[in-house]
Chain A
Amino acid sequence: MIEVLCLLLGRILLLLVGGYELIWRLRERLNALVVRWSYDLWRSGMARELHERRVLADCRSQLTKTPQHLVLVISPMDTGVDAVLVRKIFDFALDVGIKHVSLYDRRSKDHGYVDLAEICSTTSEEQGSCFKWPPIPSASKSETQPKNGQKTNGYVNGANGSHSPQFQLYQISASDGHALIADVCRELYEGRETPAVQNLLKQKREALTEQITGMLNKRLGFEAPEPDLGIIFARQTCTYGLLPWHARFTEFHTHPSGRHFDVETFANILSKYSRCEQRWGT
């Protein structure tokens, strides 16, 4: 008897959860429609920009710390993030002085994948997965590129404490996760008889860890600090395989798919990040 009752309660619970999900989704859709509609309808482009600048300036003045490296994680099922929103977030990030932004989009090209090469409208000179935001106009490219040919990490502009007028942008793919670590292991294994690898094996494990870090960064093509803030665009919180080596101390914030993302949302996330305390094990 009690088993039947529990089964019945379970089914009712599942129905309630399903119903709640449905209502939640409808509410989010409606909210997004209304907010976006009213936002666009009642504010001119100029007024919207002024409003955003004001919110970001307020936010900046209240932050006790700003993330160095922001990563945007887009789940394979997300339908709300497009190139327009990504550009908008890049502009917000630029305004508050974030120096590195990465995009990790797990969707396929047919399902809304955002390609930074298209957004940054690169020429063949800019290759790989590193870009700059705002994109460098072709004419001035030769003036802004570092003389030693190395990719800069955006710190130079922020050296005096002010935020950088341009930041470094990276496209991260699924193959930059586990597969890249396996790739590094393979390379080390091929050179296992060399004195360098033999020497690593004789030392404490930290030496090998350092070596792997260096080799991974070289392959990723960036020398950015580890991501300290991640915004996950999904209904549920999951890393979706984001950089297992680098995302170890990333503070994750989940923005439910379908919910409107605006300057206030971004400022709230930064405020939350600013309030959290990293203890680094101590």
Chain B
Amino acid sequence: MSWVSDYKYTWAEQLAMRTLRACGHIPNHVAFVMDGNRRFARSQQIDKIEGHSRGFEKLADCLRWCLDAGVREVTTFAFSIENFKRSNEEVEGLFNLAREKFARLLEETTRLNEHGIRIRVIGNIELLPLDLQKLVASAMLSTERNDKLFLNVAFAYTSRDEITQAVETVLRHGSQDLAAEDISERLLEECLYTRHSPPPDLVFRTSGETRLSDFMMWQLSTSVLYFSNVLWPQITFWHFLASLLAYQRDRWQLEDFRRTERMHSYQLAKTSDFYSERVQKFLATIDEDRRKLLVRLAAN
């Protein structure tokens, strides 16, 4: 199964997709909390890992829909740090699935490059087994020049860990370059794993849960949250469409709030010298260090 499926649209779906695109206001960035794989497996009396595998197939469909709808960035919550608490068998099964999918991704790099898809894994990848770290790093490096669709896979991720990582980065790397007054929420935002991504416009969680489970808590303060009762492996094009319609309905009501937040962020950047040479130098160092880490992991 490829990372982007060859989904065959029915004529009704094709018409709906074109109509939606003609209406405009397609979200730039959609984040998915892919919940319900295990409940789906239980309901179908299949193995948990098979449930996760079906979930991945749906992700491939979803990526196709996003690509065709004009969504530029997709973030998916694949594996939380909290999931390490699951049974060894299930965790190992999930890692095997990830190994298989990332190995497949490396095989089909040409196809991803054709679509211009860049894969980024966000999370504490050093918590993963070494061979998986290598695959993840290689996948990120091999697609790093693409810029048509960004796929961020949150793996070994929690929001708290991400924010702690940002604080840690400032404490470890800021010594020479930064002044205490330079530290603001604007700077911390740039130290998150999602440094080069806009905040999600729409967060879509399946399986009827109405919590965020420590996913992108910093970034989603202005996002439209959409909760659906469908289990992730059962998601269809029409559920996806419903979420886009909900976004189109709700976005204009959030626009004033978003504008105010953007203005606040801009003012903050000015007052905290965000655009100063020393801060930009510090941020460039972070980018350089992160890339060096990927190169090192890929070479292991």
User: Are A76 and B172 interface neighbours, CB within 8 A?
Assistant: no
User: Are A248 and B159 interface neighbours, CB within 8 A?
Assistant: yes
Q: With A and B bound together, what is the CA distance between A9 and B23 in angstroms? A: 9
- B222 within 8 A of partner (CB): yes
Instruction: Give which listed residue, B82, B86, B248, B253, contacts A77 with CB less than 8 A.
Output: B253
Which residues of B are found within 8 Å of A177, using beta-carbon distances? 221
Chain B interface size, as a band, is 35 or more
Interface hits, A1-33 → B, CB 8 Å: 2-3, 6-7, 9-11, 13-14, 17, 21
Give the contact stretch, choosing among A39-47, A115-123, A156-164, A239-247. A239-247
User: Are A237 and B224 interface neighbours, CB within 8 A?
Assistant: yes
- B218 within 8 A of partner (CB): yes
User: Are A205 and B164 interface neighbours, CB within 8 A?
Assistant: yes
Contact mask for chain B residues 213-235; partner A; CB cutoff 8 A; 1 contact, 0 none: 11001101111111100000000
Which residues of A are found within 8 Å of B159, using beta-carbon distances? 244, 248
User: Are A236 and B212 interface neighbours, CB within 8 A?
Assistant: no
Instruction: Give which listed residue, B19, B217, B225, contacts A252 with CB less than 8 A.
Output: B225
Min C-beta distance of B69 to chain A, whole Å: 13
Interface hits, A87-106 → B, CB 8 Å: 106
Instruction: Give which listed residue, A14, A77, A205, A282, contacts B168 with CB less than 8 A.
Output: A205
If over half of B's interface residues share one DSSP class (helix, strand or loop), that class is named, otherwise mixed; here it is helix
Which residues of B are found within 8 Å of A178, using beta-carbon distances? 185, 188-189, 218, 221
User: Are A6 and B171 interface neighbours, CB within 8 A?
Assistant: no
Give the contact stretch, choosing among B58-66, B94-102, B130-138, B176-184. B176-184
Q: With A and B bound together, what is the CA distance between A212 and B164 in angstroms? A: 8
User: Are A77 and B250 interface neighbours, CB within 8 A?
Assistant: no
- B42 within 8 A of partner (CB): no
Which residues of A are found within 8 Å of B260, using beta-carbon distances? 76
User: Are B256 and A6 interface neighbours, CB within 8 A?
Assistant: no
User: Are B163 and A181 interface neighbours, CB within 8 A?
Assistant: yes
- A201 within 8 A of partner (CB): yes
Instruction: Contacts A6-B15, A238-B223 given; indicate if A185 touches B253 (C-beta within 8 A).
Output: no
User: Are B18 and A6 interface neighbours, CB within 8 A?
Assistant: yes
- B257 within 8 A of partner (CB): yes
Contact mask for chain A residues 207-249; partner B; CB cutoff 8 A; 1 contact, 0 none: 0110010000000000000000000000111111110110111
Closest to A272 in B: B210
If over half of A's interface residues share one DSSP class (helix, strand or loop), that class is named, otherwise mixed; here it is helix
Closest to B211 in A: A251
- B160 within 8 A of partner (CB): yes
User: Are A7 and B211 interface neighbours, CB within 8 A?
Assistant: no
User: Are A280 and B164 interface neighbours, CB within 8 A?
Assistant: no
User: Are B168 and A237 interface neighbours, CB within 8 A?
Assistant: no
User: Are B22 and A9 interface neighbours, CB within 8 A?
Assistant: yes
Interface hits, B1-41 → A, CB 8 Å: 15, 18-23
User: Are B124 and A205 interface neighbours, CB within 8 A?
Assistant: yes
Which residues of B are found within 8 Å of A250, using beta-carbon distances? 211-212
Instruction: Give which listed residue, B18, B161, B168, B249, contacts A17 with CB less than 8 A.
Output: B249
- B175 within 8 A of partner (CB): yes
User: Are B254 and A236 interface neighbours, CB within 8 A?
Assistant: yes
Min C-beta distance of B16 to chain A, whole Å: 9
Q: Can you list 17 residue pairs at the A/B interface with Cβ under 8 Å?
A: A9-B15, A13-B19, A75-B257, A178-B188, A179-B184, A185-B167, A186-B180, A188-B167, A188-B171, A208-B168, A212-B167, A236-B254, A238-B225, A248-B160, A251-B209, A280-B85, A281-B81
